[in-house]
Amino acid sequence: MSKKIRSLKDRMAKQWGRRSWKDALEACLELRELCPGDERILLRLGELYERLGQVEQAVSAFKEVVELYADDGRFARAISVAKRISALDPTDDSVNKRLALLYSARGLPVSPRTLVAPPDALREDAPLASPAAESGVSSDEKETVEEIGLEDVGASQGDSSKRPRRKLRESELREMDLSEMDLGQVEMEVIEAREYPVTPLFFHLAPEELHEVMQGMHPVKVKPGQSIVSQGDEGDSVYLLCEGKVRVRVRRPDGAEVEVAVLGEGDFFGEFGVFTDGRRHATVVADGAVELLELHQSELEKVAKRHPRVRLVLHQYYRDRAVETALAVSKLFGKLDAKSRLDIAGMIEEVTYAAGQMVMQEGAEPPGLYLVRRGRLLVRTESLSGKAVLLAELEPGDFFGEVSALTGSSVTADVIAFEPCELLKLSPGRIQEISERWPQMQSELESVRDRRIHETIERLGTAGPI
């Protein structure tokens, strides 16, 4: 049997290379009989029917592939194939609706996480990009929204979440006509018999929300080694990875490039450009052939106006990734492994400061250690003669506050935001915990502390006024 299958596969590949679609189809049909349920063969079958102009048969084969991927919990790939069905038959939206319902039964986490809402995030007319945070406001002080179910924040227009929902079992979906169904009126029974992979982009979305996100996506294919986005370029779309892997690299202020992540099927990237300045904050390169789904900011805006929770979900992941990336490129934490950095990310408090605002004041109680994520700051003190002395200029990746945090003494210099800043803060208690769990960090901090004290003494002895 295996020899026959190999022979048929070689024959199909040979005829495909010759663009002899009919002969390739014959071999593919035989393979389907010998290998029922093989999504790769069914996918090739759909492609052959498509090339032969047999749309109905192509759609039927692609639908089988979608069902197989969905049964296995591989929703990113399922959505990618569903987009091909939509391209062949734009009037058939039943597959997208079925996927949205199935994901609500399989993809949601058993233990829902807390979403942190940016200011005005749930307003219908709120932009996707985060408005400037209030000066000195920490992430812990912002509004938090507990994800409970389909009846919580961000209901669709028309408030469909408050209407009675029909409870559906998965077995019912295969026989139902979903073309005219309002997804806001149904709810799936959650399946917990096995663990399904979770696609972060869809982590908390209700079926009607997910359905609209899917409709706005466009397929993209990338060759091995090709840069999908490049740091510094303009860009405001989000990408969902359907097949293959990508490597995420960030360039430090000193010019060194650091690999901060390897992403695979179901992961997404590109949200930094949406929530910040419309530019790419990392370079993402295809590690082999890659298939993506792209969602432009304009499409996201349309969906977010009807479903504000979409904005909330994306903003949560933007915040998480921003913290993890800042740690990876920092001079202090960049030497740790990814798992350790992730643990430390959970200890961090995010704070923002306006230009000219005092972050730390000389003589005050030690507030902790700060890592600069965005913006520039000035470190200054006074000489014995009372003249102001500039000790340092801090940029993204730099950190400060370690001297007072480690010694327990009062703050030794003023730190002022030269421009609007986003900082990551570790309290003295957290610094102590990090020092105990990662002794090398204690040594590193003490070394930096001693060096900076020495540099400050030298600077005070030689520097003139600012």
Supply the CATH number for residue 380's domain.
2.60.120.10
Q: What per-residue confidence (pLDDT) applies to 72?
A: 81
Amino acid, res. 55: V
User: For position 152, what pLDDT does the model report?
Assistant: 42
Residue 234 lies in a domain: no
CATH number at residue 8: 1.25.40.10
- Does residue 136 form part of some domain? no
In angstroms, the CA 198 to CA 69 distance is 13
Q: Please tell me the total count of domains within the chain.
A: 2
pLDDT at 432: 86
pLDDT in tens, the chain (466 residues): 588 999 999 999 999 999 999 999 999 999 999 998 899 999 999 999 999 999 999 999 999 999 888 888 788 899 999 999 999 999 888 888 888 877 766 644 433 344 444 444 444 455 555 444 444 545 444 444 333 333 343 444 444 444 455 555 555 555 555 555 555 555 555 555 445 556 666 766 777 878 888 888 899 999 999 999 999 898 888 899 999 999 999 887 777 788 888 899 888 888 887 777 778 888 999 999 999 999 888 888 887 787 777 777 777 777 778 888 888 888 788 888 888 888 998 899 989 999 999 999 988 988 889 999 889 999 988 876 778 888 889 988 888 887 777 677 788 889 999 999 999 999 988 988 888 898 888 777 777 777 777 777 776 665 444 4
Residue 261 lies in a domain: no
Establish if 392 belongs to a structural domain.
yes
Q: Is residue 59 part of a domain?
A: yes
Inside any domain, residue 299: no
pLDDT of residue 215: 85
The domain in which residue 384 lies consists of 343-462
Q: Is 335 part of a structural domain of the chain?
A: no
> Which residue, of 181, 213, 245, is where some domain finishes?
213
Last residue of a domain, one of 179, 213, 247: 213
The answer to whether residue 98 sits within a structural domain is yes
Where does a domain end: 198, 213, 228? Answer: 213
